[in-house]
Amino acid sequence: MGGRADDIWRIAGELKAHALGRRGPAVKGLPPLLAFTEPDRGLEPLVLAQRLPPGAGLVLRLFGADDALETARDVAATCRARGVALLMGEDAGLAEACGAEGLHLPQRRVADAPACRQAHPEWIITSAAHDEMGARMAGAAEVDAVVLSPVFPTRSASGRPPLGPAGFERLAELAGVPAYALGGISADNAAELAQTSAVGLAAIDAVSDWLGRE
């Protein structure tokens, strides 16, 4: 990757290694870094898939785009060729159609996780959580991992106050499942999560910003 993206990748790997020591097999198949796509922010999905390092994960969020199936299949093919795990955002049908390795659910859809697990036991299933209720729901649904946000100040218009490392850890404990840190992640602040139980990092702008400089 090069530059600061390498720093993010290195820190993500260190977090994953620490989590393996604590949780063992529960986190073995989880990528240390999840890059999220979002319309009008960051790199185009296919470009991001081409530039992510092998072993990373990509959460593809297409939000009902007219060319969603074509894009998903193109991105899935690139991810398979590069050894990048593809998780489809919210749309289980699209995940099936493109052969994704898993599904990422927003907090409002976390109750769908058990049914998705039954239909696709091989999938990696993650969910988002932004508060105590979301963290508890993720744990109850027994997702493979929860993505907690926002950890640091972010460009998002959600208006939620940042959790900080301590708030992240509190929600991770409530969830009781492996947890990723998302929101405002950068090469400058990611190391602040070293003393938490984070299984890895998740990012929208940070990864796209640095990969886009190649």
189-214 pLDDT, tens digit each: 999 999 999 999 999 887 877 777 55
Partnered with residue 41 across adjacent β-strands are 38
Tokens of 198: 């984070």
pLDDT at 63: 86
Contact between 208 and 171 under an 8 Å Cβ cutoff? The reply is no
Confidence of residue 12 (pLDDT cuts 50, 70, 90): very high
Q: What are phi and psi of 45, to 5 degrees?
A: -55, -45
Could you tell me the pTM of the whole model?
0.95
Of the candidates 17, 62, 56, 19, the one whose C-alpha atom is nearest the C-alpha of residue 38 is 62
pLDDT at 204: 86
Per-domain residue ranges of the chain: 3-211
Distance of alpha carbon 20 from alpha carbon 16, whole angstroms: 6
Q: Which of 54-68, 136-150, 152-166 has the lowest mean pLDDT?
A: 152-166
pLDDT at 158: 64
Partnered with residue 86 across adjacent β-strands are 58
Distance of alpha carbon 180 from alpha carbon 20, whole angstroms: 13
Query: Which CATH number is associated with domain 3-211?
Result: 3.20.20.70
3-state class of 114 per DSSP? helix
Amino acid found at 88? M
